[in-house]
Structures are given as C-alpha cells and as structure tokens.
Amino acid sequence: MAVRTISPDVYSIGAVDWNLRLFDALIGTPEGTSYNAFVVRGTERTALIDTVDTRFEEALLKNLMKMGVSSLDYIVINHAEQDHSGSLPLLMEMFPQATVIADEKCRDLLGRLLDVPEDRITTVKDGDTIDLGGKTLEFIIAPWVHWPETMMTYEREDGILFSCDLFGAHLATSELFVRDFAPITRPAKRYFAEIMMPFRSSAHAAMQKVADRDVRIIAPSHGPLYDDPSLILDAYAEWTSDTVKNLVLLPYVSMHGSTAKMVSYLTDALIERGIEVQPYDLTTSDLGDIAMTAVDAATIVIATPTVLFGPHPAAVNAAYLLSALKPKTKFVSVIGSFGWGGKTVQHLTEMLTPLNAEMIDPVYVRGYPTAEDLAALNALADTILKKHEDLLTQP
C-alpha cells in the first residue's frame, strides 16, 4: 500500500486488493478492487476520510505511521459498509482522541454492525462543515448511493469530492488518476450495473446536489480517482438517464436444444431487423456481463425450457438478478419450450414485475420448434422492432 499525493496535503492511503475475485460473496471482481482512504491535513487539524476492509487495517496504520500522523483529529465515515468502515474500531483504539464524524443513520449502523458506541460519534447534517485550517470539509448527505446512510465529503479549497461508493470501480490498479477512460469504462460500468443501478435515481439526485460545486477531483472509495471529473460524470449522466438503446439482452439456458434453436433463430431475426442483440448462455456467462448489458437494453428476453413445472433455475437466477438491479429496460418477454406443461411463463412474468416493463407476448412452444413456432419468433422480432422504433423516435 503506497501513500500517494492527490493535491498538497491531501493523500490517498488506502489498500489495493489485487486478488479479490468475489466481493461480498456476491459480485465477481475479475480485476480486483481497492478500498480507498484519504488523509486531509490542515494547518490546525488532520482528518482521515474512510477506512479500509479489516484485512488491510494493519497496512492502513502503517501508512499513517509512514506519513508521521501521530494523532488524528477526525475520522470521517461516509458509509457504514464494512469495506470502508471495518477498520474503524482499531483506529478508534489507536487514536482515542479522534472525533468520529458520521451522519445520523450511519451512526446507528456503525453501532449495530461494529458495536461502536453512539456517544463516540459526532453526527453531521447536510451542509455542515469542519475547518481543518486552510482545508474545509463539507458533508453532503447522499442517501442510497449505496445504502440509506451514505454521505459524501467535499474538500472545498482543492475541489475534491470524496464520493464514497458513487463513481467507483472494482479495479486494482497502480494508477492514482484515470488517464484514459477507455480501459476504465468496463470496470466502471460493471460497478454501476451491479452496485448503483438499483439506486439510479439516487445517484442522479446526488449528482444534481453537487452540480454547483467546483469539483476538480472525484475521489471514490473504489478504483482510481478522476482529475478530469467529466469522464465519469458524462458516463453517469448516460447510465442514470432514462435513455435506452436499440438493444435486446437475451439470457438463455437450454437442456436439449429446443430453446437454443429458438435463441439462435431470434438472434438472427433481430439482427436482420437492425436490432443489436446480446445472447448470454447462462451456464457459462458472467452475471456481471449480463448486468452491464442491462444498463442499456431496451428489451430483455429470457429464454428457458421448463424444468419440472417451472423455469430452469439458471433462468430464475437471472430473472431475480435483473428484477433486483432494476435496469431501465422498457420491454420484456419470454421464449422457450416445454414437454408436457408447467407455469414457466407465469412464473417469470411475476418475477419480472418489479421492472415495470411492458410484457410482449411470449413465444413458448411444445418440444422442438416447428416452422410455425419460428414464424412466431419472426413476429416477436417484428413487435420488438416496432416498439423500439416508437420508443426511440419519441421526441
């Protein structure tokens, strides 16, 4: 863990987790991640902004020692999730005189998650400031980017927005600042899709809230920093908007080839109509890739055979994921095949209800698809085309 200077008297001292491949036992992190923590030194006082995952707490302490920080006046906790707050108990032990700063909801969560006594935490409200001496920290309450208690901290003099999870990326890199957005686009979008997409409107609101600030550096709590904030702000403006693309996300699973045949046929039918399509075999695909495609897709079609009396479990998993991530998708449908009966379409339709998307008539057939069944897929492709044209030509 290296100490790096962000601007005069502002340092990045967090941890790079090069080898993490599964975050929260839930999210794939093929490129690792980082837990960013920062020190802001004023002429009078010193603040630590966020901590690190407990696996790196000793390294965080070593960095503070390396910097000659023998006392901390403030420990600011922007977010109670343990990847950022986990080392707080140790830091409170090592720096007993430090005032812990958090918003009210965060104080409650820190008590429940880390057993931090409430009376050790000073709560702040939106717009409150602390003066470190030539460095002013302003607290911006930004709920639901990622949890209900999330907060951002803005250092006024240098224009640094410590944005917590917002604008982050699960990426282990030696680069402090993003120099070229092209290689960061995938991890940043993947992070948005998996972490922020369910809170799209909250992310948008948080962006509006800081729009009048002179933000010159964005310092999220995961991944590299931005000294050209427009790179990530422009991307988020698109991702958090209601705009979708002429794109169909087509996650599928097939057992004996019938559903695979339908997926292949529908894929070609969509391409022939000028619609972009991305099929994903659920037995081999990464759910993060599916989530990323869902950021933009106007339509999601889930393809599955019937297993016993309902959808294949892989399709259930995909439908659950998509309904939880709440992409801005406007249309959904189901295709697949069955042998003798079941309630697959009904089951998936109910699962996809949280998307508030229009259900296009499913194409669910018995056995291997016949010519008539393939014609129904052509009709489905025609319907999707018409829906997309109507949607995308709206003023």
Per-position DSSP letters for 228-263, written without gaps between them: STHHHHHHHHHHTSS--EEEEEEEE--SSSHHHHHH
Shortest Å distance, C-beta 71 to ligand FEO = 27
Distance CA 106, CA 128 (A): 15
Per-position DSSP letters for 50-117, written without gaps between them: ----GGGHHHHHHHHHHTT----SEEE-S--SHHHHTTHHHHHHH-TTPEEEE-HHHHHHHHHHH---
CB atoms within 10 A of CB 366: 14
Distance CA 364, CA 380 (A): 11
Shortest Å distance, C-beta 164 to ligand FEO = 8
Shortest Å distance, C-beta 290 to ligand FEO = 21
Query: For ligand FEO, which is the closer residue by CB, 150 or 278?
Result: 150
Shortest Å distance, C-beta 199 to ligand FEO = 10
Shortest Å distance, C-beta 147 to ligand FEO = 6
Query: For ligand FEO, which is the closer residue by CB, 105 or 216?
Result: 105
Query: For ligand FEO, which is the closer residue by CB, 146 or 200?
Result: 146
Query: For ligand FEO, which is the closer residue by CB, 79 or 388?
Result: 79
| Positions in the binding site for ligand FEO (CB under 6 A) | 79, 81, 83-84, 146, 165, 221-222
Q: Which residue is nearest to ligand FEO (CB)?
A: 81
Query: For ligand FEO, which is the closer residue by CB, 146 or 388?
Result: 146
Q: What b-and-e string marks burial along 74-98, b requiring 16 or more CB atoms within 10 Å of the CB?
A: bbbbbbbbbbbbbbbbebbebbeeb
Q: What are the start-end ranges of the E strands in 8-62?
A: 10-12, 15-17, 22-23, 27-28, 33-35, 38-41, 46-49
Shortest Å distance, C-beta 174 to ligand FEO = 20
Query: For ligand FEO, which is the closer residue by CB, 81 or 296?
Result: 81
